[in-house]
Amino acid sequence: MEEKSERIRYVSLAIILVLTALAGILSDGPATSFGDFLTIQSSGARLIQDFTAIGIGGAMVNAALVGLLGLGVVYFSSVTLAGPTIAGIFTILGFGFFGKTPLNCIPIMAGVWASARFAGKTMGSYSLIALFGTALGPLVTYIMFEIGLPLPFSIPLGILGGFVAGAILPAVAGSMLQLHQGYNLYNIGFTCGFLGLFASSALRAADSMEDTSIVWNTTSHGTLVFLIPAISAALCFLGAISPPVGAKRLYLDIRKLQTLSGRLPTDYFDAVDSGAPWFNMGLLGFCSALFIAVVGAPFNGPVLGGILTVIGFGAFGKSLRNCWPVVLG
């Protein structure tokens, strides 16, 4: 039964990711979408660089491929696709709209894999670090294309920098967890920020740090506006049918999730036996989109990235009850 449920999760996420890419291609056309996708690979990726300003189709293809890359890492790591890994996949999907690309993620993931081999552990035990560690992707892009060296030198240097960053992440992440005792759901992101400070200082000391500029798309394209409601509806539908336990049981399990603190590690797929985690993710998506519409913010890359991260952690710690007091505050 558990194996069947996990297979459904893989297929469902793969369909969502593929349809996201197809929606982007239909929005701008194949030639424009893939041209913009290639442009994104060499474009600046530091905060805040909104890939939707380059092209809607290219940004959606890039985000979907980053998500599929994460799904592939989980699959080939032979780790359970549940709350933590689903949160990781949705997070990198979201950041594929403003900072992460397949090109800047792969070296970091390879470094984490090498660290696992060196430590004599399986990649499965480090899979979350491989997913969330891609937060350092902009460092790879910066070294490759913005440091000012000729490309034959800068591209291998960027790959090496990402590999080294990924290799040391597991050791540093364990220490960072002790600082906040699990009350920060983004432990690997917290760790990447810590390492990013050192990388920034080193680049600045070498007089290789350029000032960053903010690229923020102020136009809400129709495809982006409907993307979150479409994904949220799909997740709610998935929650209702996977497995089909009846409306009353589903409702009770959704209520149960609202009572949990969400402190690390709280895997909602372990907490209940129904599709309530999927439904919780969908509800968070709908409410997040409604909030953005009410405040009048554009549905651009960074906003979509934030919402998709919230949706992902709807399987691993976030709920309406523990999110909205913070949002309203």
Q: What is the pLDDT of residue 217?
A: 95
Give the ranges where the chain is alpha helix by DSSP (H). Answer: 2-28, 30-41, 56-76, 83-95, 102-119, 127-132, 137-145, 151-180, 187-205, 222-241, 247-259, 268-271, 276-295, 301-312, 320-328
Domain ranges (residues) in the chain: 2-205, 222-328
User: Alpha-carbon torsion 75, 314, 84, 112, what sign?
Assistant: positive
Instruction: Tell me what the mean pLDDT of segment 109-116 comes to.
Output: 96
pLDDT in tens, 18-41: 999 999 999 999 999 999 999 999
For residue range 285-318, what is the model confidence (pLDDT) as tens digits?
999 999 999 999 999 999 999 999 999 999 999 9
Cα–Cα distance for residue pair 184/192, rounded to 1 Å? 13
Q: What is the pLDDT of residues 4-13, one digit of tens each?
A: 788 999 999 9
Report the run of H or E that residue 181 belongs to, with start and end. none
Consecutive H or E run containing 49 = none
**Which pLDDT does position 157 carry in this prediction?**
97
pLDDT single digits (tens) 40-92? 999 999 989 999 999 999 999 999 999 999 999 999 998 999 999 999 999 99
